[in-house]
Chain A
Amino acid sequence: MNALKWWWGILLAFALLGVSRTFLPLPFMNEVVIFSIYAMGCNFLIGRVGYISFGQPAYLAFGAYACAFYLFYFGTNPLVGIMVGVLGGLVVSLVIGPLFVRLRSDYFAMVNLALAVIVFYLTQKVLVDITKGDNGLWFMTRITSTPGLDLTIPGQFFIFALIVALAVCAFYKYLDDSIYGACCLATKINENKLQFLGYDNFSIRLLAFVIANTTTALAGAMYAVYLGFVSPEMASPSRAADPVIVTLLGGVGTLFGPIVGAIAYTGMKDVISKLIGNWELFIGFLLVFIMLVADQGIWGTLAPLLEKLLWRRKATLPVATKR
């Protein structure tokens, strides 16, 4: 019964996203959905394991470039490209993870930021022969149509992205409710206490790191296919705070926080950038406001109110029936 309940919640949320497509511009919706996947990984790291990472653009770039290399040099199937991107993210996370997850949260944040700087300069200056430097890799015209949903058509790409995001969201919901999710939360609360029970914190954190960054790589690969282009800008350290901001904006550790955050962030970026030039300034002030007044984020603040409202309705129902 409970399983049915949360499935309905997720399906309803994504149905709303799908319906929004009818009155909101397609590029905006595509960006929202991909950004949601991007933020889901970050949300898991911050909300469940307590790790803030300012290096998410690096993992986004790993996924994007792995996918782009395949589509630029080897193949034309975007689905295979996305799979290569995910595999790239998985391998990199498995190699880097054992080194990074040994660090405490503040050092973890900085070492990841350093990784983003390294990846940015590798793609921009060092590996110019294969990444084409600032010019980036263009492969839009190389991508072939796929059976079923044709990912070269933005409208159909949106449906595909929505299905992927739904699957990722359901996966994280499953993780949150699993014993492993509880282990992650426990290691965030007090890692020593978890060791008393016989758990190896390192393994728990490493798995979380791999899961979160593979999700980020998936978002990177999807960006690559959607845009048909990747450039070092994707790994730019100046964008390092974006997923963290979206996560905080939406509500850290909440299921729908990344989606709500992505809608709010992308929406504000679109609307405010049309009104004033420096939209980042507004985002900065908004973030300060959220941190000071509503540290649960948008969804973290709204969800309990909605729950209360629904609960009240349910509570009044038997009384009405009795009458």
Chain B
Amino acid sequence: MSREILSVRGLNAAYGEAKVLFDIDMSVATGQIVACVGRNGAGKTTLLKSIAGFLKPTSGSVIADNTPLTGKKSYDIAKFGIKYIPQDKKVFFDLTVRENLELGSYATKDYNWDRVLGFFPKLQLLMGRKAGYLSGGERQMLMIARAILGSPKVLLIDEPTEGLAPGIVTQLRETFRELARSTALVIVEQNLPLVCAIADKVYAVRDGRIVAELVGPEEISVAACERYL
């Protein structure tokens, strides 16, 4: 039985004078994969940043697991279990894969790497390599691996497949399905076939507003998503 793990109500956000998000309402349940789709500049990344505490909302509320998070510091929100994985795949270049993972472990006190390496066995072979020398796909794996240490409640993933080879995208799709068994996922994604393959719910974002909510395989399709782009 799934329960609501993340609830966003009447969220408004702005960059200085420029209002970017308008009265956003969304909810995410445990074990759910929720996707946000929309054109570039629609406000999808801003929505994730507002939930993760990197942009202070001007009004509205973010509640996770019955705990209000609005106004909390980003690192407190991360500690609470709402982890944000940004779009740019910038891991800590000068640190090795092992050190990058250790940073995740130290923050969460979760030193059990078997689970994360179960998702990404390739990382085991790259432990001593500096993260700056990894490919785009390997960096994405490392960022997700680091974020899932400590078993977060919700993962906010921004454009995870951008610039990745089709093979890696397929692998990530399976990983997301596996991850969703224990962690709710909110994914901002432009790859509509991927979204349709994995999402339980889709929010279409246009000009900072949610213009549609598609639930279940009956409603979610590439054609339905494209209608709102």
Indicate whether A268 reaches chain B with its CB closer than 8 angstroms.
no
**Pair B102/A197 contact, Cβ less than 8 Å:** no
Instruction: Write out the residue numbers on chain A whose beta carbons fall within 8 Å of the beta carbon of B94.
Output: 185, 189
User: Is the beta-carbon distance between B54 and A182 smaller than 8 angstroms?
Assistant: no
What is the bound-complex CA distance between A192 and B93, given in angstroms?
14
B185 touches A (CB below 8 Å): no
Chain B residues with Cβ below 8 Å from A186 are: 92, 95, 103
A189 to B94, CA, bound (A): 8
Distance in angstroms from B109 CB to nearest chain A CB is 10
Q: Find out whether the CB atom of A197 lies under 8 angstroms from the CB atom of B54.
A: no
Q: Which of B83, B95, B106 contacts A185 (CB 8 A)?
A: B95
Is A193 an interface residue when CB atoms closer than 8 A count as contact? yes
Tell me whether B75 is interfacial, beta carbon within 8 Å.
Answer: yes
Task: Indicate whether A277 reaches chain B with its CB closer than 8 angstroms.
Answer: no
B90 touches A197 (CB 8 A): no
Residues of B with C-beta under 8 A to A185:
92, 94-95
B86: interface (CB < 8 Å): yes
Q: Is B147 an interface residue (CB 8 A)?
A: yes
Name the one of B78, B83, B103, B146 contacting A179, with C-beta atoms under 8 angstroms. B103
Which residues of the partner chain B approach A197 to less than 8 Å between Cβ atoms? 75, 78, 83, 103-104, 107, 146-147
Of A182, A190, A197, chain B has the most CB atoms within 10 Å of the CB of A197
For the complex formed, measure the closest distance between the CB of A179 and the CB atoms of chain B, giving whole angstroms.
4
CB of B79 within 8 A of chain A?
A: yes
Nearest-CB residue, chain B, relative to A194? B103
Q: With the chains together, A193 CA to B107 CA distance in Å? A: 13
B52 beta carbon closer than 8 Å to chain A: yes
- Shortest Cβ distance from B104 into A: residue: A197
A33 in contact (CB, < 8 A): no
Query: With a CB–CB cut-off of 8 A, which chain A residues contact B104?
Result: 197
Most B CB contacts (10 A, CB to CB) among A183, A198, A200 go to: A198
B74 at the interface (CB under 8 A from A): yes
Cα–Cα, bound, A189→B103 (Å): 14
* Complex interface: chain A residues within 8 A of B73 (CB): 200
Would B86 and A196 count as touching, CB distance under 8 A? yes
Q: Would A192 and B92 count as touching, CB distance under 8 A?
A: no
List the A residue with the shortest CB-CB distance to B156.
Answer: A196
Task: Compute how far the CA of A31 lies from the CA of B54 in the bound complex, rounded to whole angstroms.
Answer: 48
B84 at the interface (CB under 8 A from A): yes
Chain A residues near B91 (CB-CB < 8 A): 193
Query: Which residues of chain A in 165-206 are interfacial with respect to chain B, using CB atoms and an 8 Å cutoff?
Result: 179, 182-183, 185-186, 189-190, 192-201
The distance from the CB of A204 to the nearest CB of chain B, in whole angstroms, is 10
Are B103 and A192 within 8 A (Cβ)? no
Closest to A201 in B: B75
- Are B103 and A196 closer than 8 Å at their CB atoms? no
Residue pair A195, B95 in contact (C-beta under 8 Å): no
Give the residues in chain A near B146, CB-CB below 8 Å: 197
Q: Is the CB of B106 within 8 A of A183?
A: yes
How far apart sit A200 and B74, CA to CA, in the bound complex (Å)?
Answer: 9
Say how far B154's CB is from chain A's closest CB, in angstroms: 13
Annotate B47-63 by CB proximity to A: 1 below 8 A, 0 otherwise. Answer: 00000101000000000
Known: A179-B102, A193-B86, A193-B90. A199 touches B107 (CB 8 A): yes
Chain B proximity of A181: nearest CB distance (Å): 9
Name the residue of chain A whose CB is nearest to the CB of B105. Answer: A179
Contact of A189 with B92 in the complex, beta carbons under 8 Å:
yes
Contacts of B78 in A (CB 8 A): 195-198
B85 proximal to A (CB < 8 A): yes
Q: Which single residue of chain A is at the shortest CB-CB distance from B98?
A: A182
Q: Establish whether residues B95 and A182, one from each chain, have CB atoms under 8 Å apart when the complex forms.
A: yes
In this complex, the member of A182, A185, A200 whose beta carbon has the largest number of chain B beta carbons within 10 angstroms is A182
A182: chain B residues at CB < 8 Å are 92, 95, 99, 102-103
Q: How far is the CA of A198 from the CA of B90 in the complex (A)?
A: 16
A-contacting residues, B90-148, CB 8 Å: 90-95, 99, 102-104, 106-108, 146-147
- The 5 A-B pairs of least Cβ separation, nearest first, read A198-B78, A198-B79, A198-B107, A179-B106, A182-B99
Q: Which residues of B contact A (CB under 8 A)?
A: 52, 54, 73-76, 78-79, 83-86, 90-95, 99, 102-104, 106-108, 146-147
**A residues with CB within 8 A of B:** 179, 182-183, 185-186, 189-190, 192-201
9 A-B Cβ contacts within 8 A? A182-B103, A189-B93, A192-B54, A194-B103, A195-B78, A196-B86, A197-B75, A197-B104, A197-B147
Given contacts A185-B92, A198-B78, 17 further A-B contacts (CB under 8 A): A182-B95, A183-B106, A185-B94, A186-B92, A192-B54, A193-B90, A193-B91, A194-B103, A195-B54, A195-B78, A197-B83, A197-B103, A197-B104, A197-B147, A198-B76, A199-B107, A201-B75
